[in-house]
């Protein structure tokens, strides 16, 4: 689950990391008030940033500066309601604009190959790390935290020196270790600060001082761990989600809506993707990805079927179950149950093999009309594509 910038910053600030103060506004007037507060406290300008979970908001015009309350109101008005890659901006973050001396990239990510938390940094911040990784991999510093002991002091120092932050050693060490800690304490997959900036400020005695500050933050939470972090689940931005995604999650289903006409219900992500691949290959187009998971009971199957049928563009349904931990009879019972409650008559091709497939065949046979069965995957896919094609023709 991705967190909005203002939620990510909350996690960082809670862990004691230096995040400049911020406010969140959902109306231009609110943004004006907040901007005026920051300006009154001495900020030269404020920055107003669209809060959306898709990338590229800067290029899309979702990040702007303002020098007065009136300008802030105008800018926020332009950003709120803006459509960024299909997402409508509902909130903006307002913060004092920092005088940036230097930008650094720093992130903690889960490294699947090493099976450790990887701290990745680059002395050149504000960049797309993927681009940098491809073009100049040597410009990225990589240090793996200890799986039990975390990011050791010496590792954090090594990272700091490599990023040219030797003059800010203590602060850089605290930030690097803080990112690792935020990751562990919140079961995050990713904790990214880009840019981490050396910011020019005026010290109490009027002399300029440079401090390290986290100016942006991106955090992604491990979905498998959300159940043990109710506070994070509460940060989920339901406004940005497709209502059907919310419903699928509530039902414990892994569902992704697509554009096509063939509703797919499969157990297992790999087989579900393969089923979609084969539908495309056979000239059809899948209406969704749906993995009902291992050990699905009949009720879950029925719920899954309702989700598929909620999409009017679905002209055929392809059920592909290879029983293992899932048992064919449970799935068949769910299908029959869903069928009995179904208001819309969409043809269904069912293929159930593996554990308890024989029982499933009996249940489906007893249920009678409307359910066509297939033995092989290829056969099932062809049948479904043919039905969808004739329905669309």
Of the pair 43, 107, the CB lying nearest other proteins is at 107
Of the pair 55, 81, the CB lying nearest other proteins is at 55
Q: Is 40 in the site for other proteins (CB under 8 A)?
A: no
Q: Is 295 in the site for other proteins (CB under 8 A)?
A: yes
Contact 371, 335 (CB under 8 A): yes
Active site residues: 105, 192
Helix, coil or strand: residue 227: helix
In angstroms, the CA 45 to CA 39 distance is: 7
Q: Is 189 in the site for other proteins (CB under 8 A)?
A: yes
Q: Is 223 in the site for other proteins (CB under 8 A)?
A: yes
Q: Other C-beta atoms within 10 Å of 185: how many?
A: 12
Of the pair 189, 216, the CB lying nearest other proteins is at 189
Stretch that binds other proteins, among 41-49, 200-208, 263-271, 310-318 (CB under 8 A): 263-271
Q: Is 256 in the site for other proteins (CB under 8 A)?
A: yes
Alpha helix locations (H) across the chain?
Answer: 5-14, 28-40, 69-79, 129-135, 153-162, 169-185, 230-233, 243-250, 269-281, 298-309, 328-341, 357-367, 377-392
Q: Is 261 in the site for other proteins (CB under 8 A)?
A: no
Which pair of structure tokens corresponds to residue 173?
A: 């060490």
Among 90, 142, 280, 389, binds other proteins (CB under 8 A): 280
In angstroms, the CA 129 to CA 205 distance is: 38
Radius of gyration of the chain (CA): 26
| Strand ranges (E), 20-171 | 23-25, 46-50, 63-66, 83-84, 87-88, 92-96, 100-111, 116-122, 140-144
Stretch that binds other proteins, among 11-19, 113-121, 208-216, 305-313 (CB under 8 A): 113-121
Among 74, 90, 158, 249, binds other proteins (CB under 8 A): 158
Helix axis angle, 298-309 to 328-341, nearest 10°: 50
Which pair of structure tokens corresponds to residue 58?
A: 């800067």
Stretch that binds other proteins, among 30-38, 86-94, 143-151, 299-307 (CB under 8 A): 143-151
Residues that bind other proteins (CB under 8 A): 110, 112-113, 115-117, 130, 134, 146-149, 152-155, 157-158, 161, 166, 169, 183-184, 187, 189, 222-225, 228, 254, 256, 258, 266-274, 276-278, 280-281, 286, 289, 291, 293-295, 321-326, 353-355, 376-378
């Amino acid at each position: 689950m991705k967190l909005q910038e203002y939620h990510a910053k909350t996690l960082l600030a809670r862990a004691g990391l230096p995040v400049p103060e911020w406010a969140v506004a959902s109306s231009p007037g609110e943004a004006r008030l907040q901007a005026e507060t920051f300006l009154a406290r001495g900020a030269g300008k404020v920055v107003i940033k669209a809060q959306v979970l898709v990338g590229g908001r800067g290029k899309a015009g979702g990040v702007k500066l303002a020098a007065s309350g009136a300008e802030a109101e105008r800018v926020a008005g332009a950003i709120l309601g803006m459509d960024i890659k299909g997402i409508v901006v509902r909130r903006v973050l307002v913060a004092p604009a920092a005088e940036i001396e230097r930008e650094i990239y720093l992130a903690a990510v889960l490294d699947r190959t090493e099976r450790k938390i990887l701290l990745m940094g680059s002395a050149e911040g504000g960049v797309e790390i993927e681009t940098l990784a491809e073009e100049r991999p040597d410009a990225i510093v990589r240090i793996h935290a200890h799986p039990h002991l975390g990011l050791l002091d010496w590792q954090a120092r090594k990272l700091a020196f490599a990023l040219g932050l030797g003059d800010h050693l203590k602060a850089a060490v605290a930030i690097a270790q803080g990112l690792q800690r935020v990751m562990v304490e919140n079961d995050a997959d990713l904790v990214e600060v880009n840019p981490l900036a050396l910011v020019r400020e005026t010290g109490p005695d009027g002399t300029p001082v440079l401090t390290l500050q986290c100016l942006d933050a991106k955090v992604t939470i491990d979905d498998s761990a959300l159940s043990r972090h109710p506070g994070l689940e509460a940060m989920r931005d339901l406004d940005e989600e497709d209502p059907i995604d919310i419903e699928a999650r509530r039902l414990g289903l892994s569902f992704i809506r697509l554009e096509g006409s063939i509703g797919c219900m499969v157990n297992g992500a790999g087989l579900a993707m393969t089923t979609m691949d084969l539908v495309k290959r056979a000239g059809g187009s899948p209406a969704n990805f749906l993995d009902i998971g291992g050990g699905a009971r009949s009720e879950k199957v029925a719920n899954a079927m309702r989700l598929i049928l909620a999409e009017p563009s679905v002209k055929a349904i392809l059920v592909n179950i290879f029983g293992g931990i899932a048992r064919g009879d449970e799935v068949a019972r769910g299908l029959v149950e869903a069928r009995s409650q179904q208001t819309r008559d969409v043809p269904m091709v069912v293929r159930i093999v593996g554990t308890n497939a024989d029982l499933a065949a009996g249940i489906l046979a007893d249920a009678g009309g409307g359910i066509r069965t297939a033995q092989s995957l290829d056969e099932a896919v062809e049948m479904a594509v043919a039905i969808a094609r004739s329905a669309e023709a």
